[in-house]
Amino acid sequence: MSETGSSERAEISSVFPPFPGGGDNAADPPGDETRVPGSTGPGAELSPNVRPAEPRPAERDGPAADPEDKDAGDGSPSGTRKVDQKEYEQPFGRPGRPLRSNPFLFGLTAALGVLTAWLMVQAIASAGSALVLIIVSLFLAVGLNPAVEALQRRNLSRRLAITIVFGAVIAFFVGFGLAIVPPLTDQTSGFIQHLPEYVQQLQNHPLIRSVDQRYQVLDKLQQYVSSGSLATQMFGGLLGVATVVISAVFSGLTILVLTLYFLGSLNSIKETAYRLVPRSRRTRVQLLGDEIIRQIGGYVAGNLIISLIAGVVTFFFLSILGVPYALALAIFVAITDLIPMVGAVAGAVVVSGVGFLTSVQVGIACVIFFIVYQQIENYVISPPVFKSSVAVPPIATIVGALLGGALLGIVGALLGIPLAAAVLLLVREVVFPRQERL
């Protein structure tokens, strides 16, 4: 009986696994066997001594005790069903199918995506001025980094090298302010002092006198001045100028501070950015990123060198001709020469105009000087300076400068050429090899 019972129990256990938390009931007699009524299989035909098992609590209280349930779904008769193991692991029932094909859920997700994109665009537009300052500061930090690394190669610490380079930048801006502010102050005060004389000359001029007799221009001008409209407009204009000046000073200080911070933590910024790339592609991305940063830094350094040469040459030329405010005009030429394509022309026009105010001969000499110097700069000075830093085709230079200027103005024109060089590098090293493999 024991051997037969053991074999039959093994067969029943193989067909009907034990209930969770159940197992062999210690209270059952050793010789008794249990089975679920209505089951089929090898264990269904037992000896007459086998008695049916007592219903478990889960079977008494569960859904299987429903008398109206005639079929449990698995071939079992009414009152019995096979208990699923997952029902004991999930006390709140089995979850339903995902709502992937629900049109309402799809529309809600799409609407939330569009709303998120619109909010991001609005946030970027609102923070556009701050983003421009950050981009310019990072651009300047990358451009000044070659000078810092050159000083580091001379056994200087990075902190000391950054201090020297940044001190030179601050000294340049201070010198520009000292060269520009006194001439503007003197010319403004002189214009105010000589304003009555200018008005008297206008009244004595025959053409102005005839026009005044016909249209009463001076009388209308006097009435306009005596009324409060002129004072209101001048006050509003002064406030507008003051706002622009304060905003420019604040932006300049912000750029200087951000450039200092970016320059000090440039290596850590690069390492953090490279760690965001998957490990399998990190080496290639790091090589390409370092090359892009090297080209941008070389372009900025070369552009600064060319602008410095232009300012020095212009200063000596204007000093020889005796043009007033030669230092201020030379610094203005150096700054405008940083702007691609149109910067050199703008500086030449302003300086030539001041030369014509001095004398016609000096103005003609300035025009000839700038025409000759631009040819020398384009074909003699620029090629060796940019030879080892950035190589951009002329069409890419023009397109990059135009698109950058249209998007971000002067800042975009400054960033257009190095960004065009970076795009060409990515196309040459990534896109072309991929197309060859296809």
pLDDT digits (tens, 9 = 90+) for 305-354: 888 899 889 989 988 988 888 888 888 888 888 887 778 888 899 888 88
pLDDT of residue 206: 75
pLDDT at 67: 45
pLDDT tens by residue, 58-88: 444 444 444 444 444 444 455 455 555 555 5
- Sign for the CA dihedral angle at 271, 277, 283, 285 comes to negative
pLDDT at residue 195, rounded to an integer:
63
Task: Give the per-residue pLDDT at 236.
Answer: 57
CB 5 within 8 A of CB 43: no
What distance in Å separates the CA atoms of residue 339 and residue 136, rounded to the nearest whole number? 14
Q: What pLDDT was estimated at residue 368?
A: 94
How far, rounded to the nearest angstrom, does the alpha carbon of residue 312 sit from its chain's CA centroid? 36
For 15, counting Cβ atoms within 10 Å of its Cβ (0-12 exposed, 13-18 middle, 19+ buried), the class is: middle
How far from chain centre, in Å, is Cα 236?
Answer: 36
pLDDT of amino acid 366 = 92
Which pLDDT score is estimated for 61?
47
Per-residue pLDDT at 396: 75
Ordered mean pLDDT values, 10 residues apiece, the chain (438 residues): 53 52 46 46 46 48 46 49 56 69 79 91 83 85 86 88 88 78 72 66 71 70 60 58 75 87 88 90 88 82 86 90 84 85 85 85 91 88 72 74 77 78 84 84
